[in-house]
Protein backbone atom coordinates (compact mmCIF):
# COMPACT_ATOMS: atom_id res chain seq x y z
CA UNK A 1 0.00 0.00 0.00
CA UNK A 2 1.50 3.31 -1.10
CA UNK A 3 1.76 5.87 1.71
CA UNK A 4 3.21 9.37 1.62
CA UNK A 5 5.43 10.52 4.48
CA UNK A 6 8.45 12.78 4.91
CA UNK A 7 10.44 13.84 7.98
CA UNK A 8 9.46 17.40 7.02
CA UNK A 9 5.91 16.62 8.16
CA UNK A 10 7.25 17.57 11.58
CA UNK A 11 8.23 21.15 12.35
CA UNK A 12 9.06 22.39 15.83
CA UNK A 13 6.25 24.62 17.14
CA UNK A 14 7.11 24.13 20.81
CA UNK A 15 6.10 21.39 23.23
CA UNK A 16 3.43 23.56 24.87
CA UNK A 17 1.41 24.02 21.68
CA UNK A 18 -1.95 22.25 21.61
CA UNK A 19 -1.39 20.97 18.06
CA UNK A 20 0.35 17.57 18.42
CA UNK A 21 2.93 17.97 15.65
CA UNK A 22 4.93 15.05 17.01
CA UNK A 23 2.13 12.63 16.09
CA UNK A 24 3.28 12.50 12.47
CA UNK A 25 6.72 10.93 13.04
CA UNK A 26 5.31 8.79 15.86
CA UNK A 27 2.58 7.31 13.63
CA UNK A 28 5.13 6.60 10.91
CA UNK A 29 7.54 4.99 13.36
CA UNK A 30 4.89 2.75 14.93
CA UNK A 31 3.40 1.56 11.65
CA UNK A 32 6.78 0.69 10.17
CA UNK A 33 8.12 -0.89 13.36
CA UNK A 34 5.14 -3.25 13.62
CA UNK A 35 5.19 -4.07 9.91
CA UNK A 36 1.83 -2.59 8.96
CA UNK A 37 3.84 -0.50 6.52
CA UNK A 38 7.06 -1.74 4.94
CA UNK A 39 9.87 0.68 4.03
CA UNK A 40 8.95 0.13 0.39
CA UNK A 41 5.38 1.32 1.04
CA UNK A 42 6.47 4.76 2.23
CA UNK A 43 7.52 7.38 -0.32
CA UNK A 44 8.54 10.94 0.51
CA UNK A 45 6.81 13.62 -1.56
CA UNK A 46 8.48 16.62 -3.11
CA UNK A 47 7.00 20.03 -2.19
CA UNK A 48 3.78 20.90 -4.01
CA UNK A 49 4.37 23.18 -6.98
CA UNK A 50 3.19 26.78 -6.89
CA UNK A 51 1.11 26.31 -10.02
CA UNK A 52 -0.78 23.49 -8.31
CA UNK A 53 -1.24 25.43 -5.06
CA UNK A 54 -2.74 28.31 -7.03
CA UNK A 55 -5.47 26.04 -8.34
CA UNK A 56 -6.95 26.09 -4.83
CA UNK A 57 -5.56 29.24 -3.21
CA UNK A 58 -5.40 32.90 -4.14
CA UNK A 59 -2.10 34.31 -5.29
CA UNK A 60 -2.27 36.97 -2.56
CA UNK A 61 -2.61 34.42 0.23
CA UNK A 62 0.03 32.10 -1.16
CA UNK A 63 2.55 34.90 -1.80
CA UNK A 64 2.19 36.40 1.67
CA UNK A 65 2.20 32.97 3.32
CA UNK A 66 5.41 31.97 1.54
CA UNK A 67 7.08 35.30 2.40
CA UNK A 68 6.07 35.28 6.07
CA UNK A 69 3.84 38.32 5.63
CA UNK A 70 0.61 37.13 7.23
CA UNK A 71 -0.90 39.62 9.65
CA UNK A 72 -1.07 38.93 13.40
CA UNK A 73 -4.83 38.45 13.01
CA UNK A 74 -4.30 35.89 10.23
CA UNK A 75 -1.76 34.02 12.34
CA UNK A 76 -4.15 33.91 15.30
CA UNK A 77 -6.81 32.52 13.00
CA UNK A 78 -4.36 29.94 11.66
CA UNK A 79 -3.34 28.91 15.16
CA UNK A 80 0.26 28.04 14.24
CA UNK A 81 3.47 30.08 14.39
CA UNK A 82 4.82 30.96 10.96
CA UNK A 83 8.17 29.59 9.84
CA UNK A 84 9.76 28.53 6.58
CA UNK A 85 9.52 24.99 7.90
CA UNK A 86 5.77 25.35 8.38
CA UNK A 87 5.30 26.48 4.79
CA UNK A 88 7.46 23.61 3.54
CA UNK A 89 5.52 21.19 5.71
CA UNK A 90 2.25 22.34 4.15
CA UNK A 91 3.68 21.95 0.65
CA UNK A 92 4.98 18.45 1.41
CA UNK A 93 1.68 17.33 2.91
CA UNK A 94 -0.28 18.71 -0.04
CA UNK A 95 1.89 16.84 -2.52
CA UNK A 96 1.67 13.76 -0.33
CA UNK A 97 -2.10 13.71 -0.70
CA UNK A 98 -1.88 14.26 -4.46
CA UNK A 99 0.65 11.43 -4.82
CA UNK A 100 -1.55 9.14 -2.72
CA UNK A 101 -4.60 9.99 -4.81
CA UNK A 102 -2.79 9.07 -8.01
CA UNK A 103 -1.73 5.74 -6.52
CA UNK A 104 -5.23 5.08 -5.19
CA UNK A 105 -6.63 5.51 -8.69
CA UNK A 106 -4.15 2.92 -9.94
CA UNK A 107 -4.18 0.49 -7.01
CA UNK A 108 -7.46 1.00 -5.14
CA UNK A 109 -6.06 2.29 -1.84
CA UNK A 110 -3.31 4.71 -0.76
CA UNK A 111 -2.77 7.21 2.00
CA UNK A 112 -0.93 10.17 3.40
CA UNK A 113 0.42 10.24 6.96
CA UNK A 114 -0.73 13.87 7.17
CA UNK A 115 -3.29 15.98 5.30
CA UNK A 116 -7.01 16.40 5.56
CA UNK A 117 -6.57 20.14 6.18
CA UNK A 118 -10.21 21.01 5.59
CA UNK A 119 -10.15 24.45 7.26
CA UNK A 120 -7.77 26.04 4.73
CA UNK A 121 -9.76 28.46 2.55
CA UNK A 122 -8.60 29.88 -0.78
CA UNK A 123 -7.62 33.18 0.84
CA UNK A 124 -6.66 32.21 4.39
CA UNK A 125 -5.78 29.38 6.73
CA UNK A 126 -7.47 28.60 10.02
CA UNK A 127 -7.83 25.82 12.57
CA UNK A 128 -4.21 24.59 12.15
CA UNK A 129 -4.75 24.23 8.37
CA UNK A 130 -2.27 26.09 6.16
CA UNK A 131 -2.89 24.75 2.64
CA UNK A 132 -5.89 22.67 1.61
CA UNK A 133 -4.32 19.43 0.43
CA UNK A 134 -7.63 17.87 -0.63
CA UNK A 135 -8.64 20.86 -2.75
CA UNK A 136 -5.21 21.03 -4.38
CA UNK A 137 -5.32 17.32 -5.20
CA UNK A 138 -8.84 17.47 -6.60
CA UNK A 139 -8.03 20.49 -8.76
CA UNK A 140 -4.89 18.88 -10.17
CA UNK A 141 -6.70 15.62 -10.93
CA UNK A 142 -9.52 17.55 -12.59
CA UNK A 143 -7.05 19.57 -14.66
CA UNK A 144 -5.32 16.42 -15.83
CA UNK A 145 -8.58 14.60 -16.60
CA UNK A 146 -7.88 11.81 -14.12
CA UNK A 147 -11.24 12.04 -12.34
CA UNK A 148 -14.78 13.00 -13.19
CA UNK A 149 -16.62 12.70 -9.89
CA UNK A 150 -14.98 12.91 -6.45
CA UNK A 151 -16.48 12.35 -3.00
CA UNK A 152 -15.08 13.60 0.29
CA UNK A 153 -16.08 11.48 3.28
CA UNK A 154 -15.09 13.66 6.21
CA UNK A 155 -15.33 11.98 9.63
CA UNK A 156 -13.25 14.56 11.48
CA UNK A 157 -15.25 15.86 14.45
CA UNK A 158 -15.05 19.40 13.03
CA UNK A 159 -17.03 20.36 9.95
CA UNK A 160 -15.00 20.69 6.75
CA UNK A 161 -15.98 24.32 6.32
CA UNK A 162 -13.37 25.26 3.73
CA UNK A 163 -14.14 22.26 1.55
CA UNK A 164 -17.84 23.12 1.71
CA UNK A 165 -17.05 26.62 0.42
CA UNK A 166 -14.46 25.61 -2.18
CA UNK A 167 -16.66 22.99 -3.81
CA UNK A 168 -20.03 24.72 -3.33
CA UNK A 169 -22.27 24.23 -6.31
CA UNK A 170 -19.95 21.79 -8.07
CA UNK A 171 -21.97 18.80 -9.19
CA UNK A 172 -18.85 16.66 -9.68
CA UNK A 173 -17.63 16.97 -6.07
CA UNK A 174 -19.70 15.61 -3.17
CA UNK A 175 -18.71 16.88 0.30
CA UNK A 176 -20.02 14.76 3.16
CA UNK A 177 -19.15 15.93 6.67
CA UNK A 178 -20.19 14.06 9.82
CA UNK A 179 -19.29 16.33 12.72
CA UNK A 180 -20.17 17.67 16.15
CA UNK A 181 -23.13 20.04 16.19
CA UNK A 182 -21.71 22.20 18.99
CA UNK A 183 -18.10 22.18 17.84
CA UNK A 184 -15.80 24.38 15.78
CA UNK A 185 -16.36 26.09 13.40
CA UNK A 186 -19.07 28.33 14.76
CA UNK A 187 -20.35 29.07 11.25
CA UNK A 188 -20.79 25.89 9.25
CA UNK A 189 -21.36 26.60 5.54
CA UNK A 190 -23.45 23.86 3.95
CA UNK A 191 -21.73 21.10 2.00
CA UNK A 192 -23.44 18.49 -0.13
CA UNK A 193 -24.51 16.63 3.03
CA UNK A 194 -23.79 17.64 6.62
CA UNK A 195 -24.71 15.48 9.61
CA UNK A 196 -24.54 17.30 12.93
CA UNK A 197 -24.00 14.98 15.87
CA UNK A 198 -24.96 15.62 19.51
CA UNK A 199 -22.39 15.90 22.28
CA UNK A 200 -21.54 12.61 23.94
CA UNK A 201 -22.46 10.34 21.02
CA UNK A 202 -21.04 6.85 21.62
CA UNK A 203 -19.83 4.08 19.32
CA UNK A 204 -23.12 2.33 18.61
CA UNK A 205 -25.09 5.45 17.73
CA UNK A 206 -22.28 6.87 15.63
CA UNK A 207 -21.80 3.67 13.66
CA UNK A 208 -25.54 3.38 13.07
CA UNK A 209 -25.58 6.80 11.41
CA UNK A 210 -22.47 6.00 9.39
CA UNK A 211 -23.96 2.74 8.10
CA UNK A 212 -27.11 4.55 7.04
CA UNK A 213 -25.45 7.22 4.94
CA UNK A 214 -22.08 6.13 3.50
CA UNK A 215 -23.33 3.26 1.28
CA UNK A 216 -26.18 5.47 0.09
CA UNK A 217 -23.76 8.24 -0.93
CA UNK A 218 -21.47 5.85 -2.79
CA UNK A 219 -24.35 4.17 -4.61
CA UNK A 220 -26.10 7.40 -5.61
CA UNK A 221 -23.10 9.56 -6.50
CA UNK A 222 -20.77 6.88 -7.88
CA UNK A 223 -17.50 8.79 -7.49
CA UNK A 224 -14.33 7.89 -9.36
CA UNK A 225 -12.35 8.52 -6.17
CA UNK A 226 -13.06 8.97 -2.46
CA UNK A 227 -10.95 11.09 -0.13
CA UNK A 228 -11.45 9.75 3.41
CA UNK A 229 -10.64 12.34 6.06
CA UNK A 230 -10.12 9.96 8.96
CA UNK A 231 -9.88 12.41 11.85
CA UNK A 232 -9.66 10.68 15.22
CA UNK A 233 -10.95 13.61 17.26
CA UNK A 234 -14.38 12.01 17.84
CA UNK A 235 -12.44 10.07 20.52
CA UNK A 236 -13.92 10.25 24.02
CA UNK A 237 -10.71 11.68 25.51
CA UNK A 238 -10.02 14.23 22.78
CA UNK A 239 -9.44 17.77 24.03
CA UNK A 240 -11.68 19.32 21.39
CA UNK A 241 -13.98 16.48 20.36
CA UNK A 242 -17.15 16.50 22.54
CA UNK A 243 -18.11 13.04 21.22
CA UNK A 244 -17.46 9.77 23.05
CA UNK A 245 -16.10 7.17 20.63
CA UNK A 246 -13.63 4.60 21.91
CA UNK A 247 -10.48 3.54 20.10
CA UNK A 248 -12.28 0.37 19.06
CA UNK A 249 -15.24 2.38 17.81
CA UNK A 250 -12.98 4.57 15.70
CA UNK A 251 -11.35 1.51 14.18
CA UNK A 252 -14.75 0.01 13.38
CA UNK A 253 -15.65 3.31 11.72
CA UNK A 254 -12.52 3.13 9.56
CA UNK A 255 -13.17 -0.51 8.65
CA UNK A 256 -16.72 0.27 7.63
CA UNK A 257 -15.88 3.28 5.43
CA UNK A 258 -13.00 1.50 3.74
CA UNK A 259 -14.94 -1.73 3.23
CA UNK A 260 -17.87 0.20 1.77
CA UNK A 261 -15.52 1.82 -0.75
CA UNK A 262 -13.90 -1.47 -1.65
CA UNK A 263 -17.22 -3.27 -2.08
CA UNK A 264 -18.41 -0.46 -4.34
CA UNK A 265 -15.19 -0.69 -6.38
CA UNK A 266 -14.25 2.92 -5.62
CA UNK A 267 -10.59 3.87 -5.00
CA UNK A 268 -9.97 5.62 -1.69
CA UNK A 269 -7.28 8.02 -0.46
CA UNK A 270 -6.77 8.25 3.31
CA UNK A 271 -5.66 11.40 5.13
CA UNK A 272 -5.08 11.70 8.87
CA UNK A 273 -6.94 14.94 9.69
CA UNK A 274 -7.41 15.89 13.37
CA UNK A 275 -6.62 14.20 16.65
CA UNK A 276 -5.92 15.91 19.99
CA UNK A 277 -6.23 13.30 22.73
CA UNK A 278 -5.08 14.31 26.18
CA UNK A 279 -2.66 11.38 26.00
CA UNK A 280 -0.86 11.79 22.68
CA UNK A 281 -0.23 8.04 22.54
CA UNK A 282 -3.99 7.57 22.16
CA UNK A 283 -3.92 9.88 19.15
CA UNK A 284 -1.04 7.92 17.65
CA UNK A 285 -2.78 4.60 18.28
CA UNK A 286 -6.05 5.83 16.74
CA UNK A 287 -4.29 7.05 13.59
CA UNK A 288 -2.37 3.78 13.35
CA UNK A 289 -5.65 1.88 13.63
CA UNK A 290 -6.84 3.61 10.45
CA UNK A 291 -3.96 2.08 8.51
CA UNK A 292 -4.34 -1.27 10.24
CA UNK A 293 -7.94 -1.21 9.10
CA UNK A 294 -6.83 -0.43 5.56
CA UNK A 295 -4.54 -3.47 5.65
CA UNK A 296 -7.33 -5.69 6.95
CA UNK A 297 -9.83 -4.50 4.32
CA UNK A 298 -7.57 -4.21 1.27
CA UNK A 299 -4.89 -6.75 2.16
pLDDT digits (tens, 9 = 90+) for 123-134: 999 999 999 999
Q: Report the DSSP beta bridge partners of residue 271.
A: 229
What does the pLDDT average to over 33-42? 97
Query: Looking at residue 131, what is its pLDDT?
Result: 98
Residue 264 predicted with pLDDT over 90: yes
* CA distances for 190 relative to 17, 199, 262, angstroms: 31, 20, 28
CA distances from 138 to 21, 94, 148, 192, 234 (A): 25, 11, 10, 16, 26
The residues that bridge with 75 in the sheet, in sequence order, are none
Q: How far apart are the C-alpha atoms of 23 and 93, rounded to whole Å?
A: 14
- Decide: helix, strand or coil at residue 68: coil
Residue range 74-84: mean pLDDT, rounded: 98
Share of the chain above pLDDT 90, in %: 99
Which alpha helices (H) appear in the chain, and where do they start and end?
23-34, 50-53, 59-67, 72-78, 84-107, 133-143, 161-166, 203-221, 247-263, 280-298
pTM, whole model, 2 decimals? 0.97
The radius of gyration of the chain from alpha carbons, rounded to an integer in Å, stands at: 17
> How does residue 299 score in pLDDT terms, banded at 50, 70 and 90?
confident
7 by DSSP, 3-state: which? helix
Average pLDDT on 170-182 reads 97
Span 250-278, average pLDDT: 98
Smallest CA-to-CA distance from 275 within 233, 237, 236, 239 is with 233
Task: Give 126's DSSP letter.
Answer: B
Question: How many residues does the structure list for the chain?
Answer: 299
Strand order in the sheet with 42-43: 42-43, 2-4, 109-112, 268-271, 225-229, 150-154, 173-180, 193-197
The Cα–Cα gap between 21 and 285 comes to 15
Mean pLDDT, rounded, of the chain = 97
Q: How far apart are CA 74 and CA 62, in angstroms?
A: 13
Amino acid sequence: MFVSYAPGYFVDIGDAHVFPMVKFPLVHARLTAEGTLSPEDVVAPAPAREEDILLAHTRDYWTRLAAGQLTPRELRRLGLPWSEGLVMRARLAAQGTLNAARHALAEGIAGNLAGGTHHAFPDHGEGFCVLNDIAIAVRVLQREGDVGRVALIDCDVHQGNANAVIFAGESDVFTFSMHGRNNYPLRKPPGSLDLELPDGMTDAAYLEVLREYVPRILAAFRPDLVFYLAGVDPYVHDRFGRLALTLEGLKRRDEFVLRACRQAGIPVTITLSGGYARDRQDTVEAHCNTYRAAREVFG
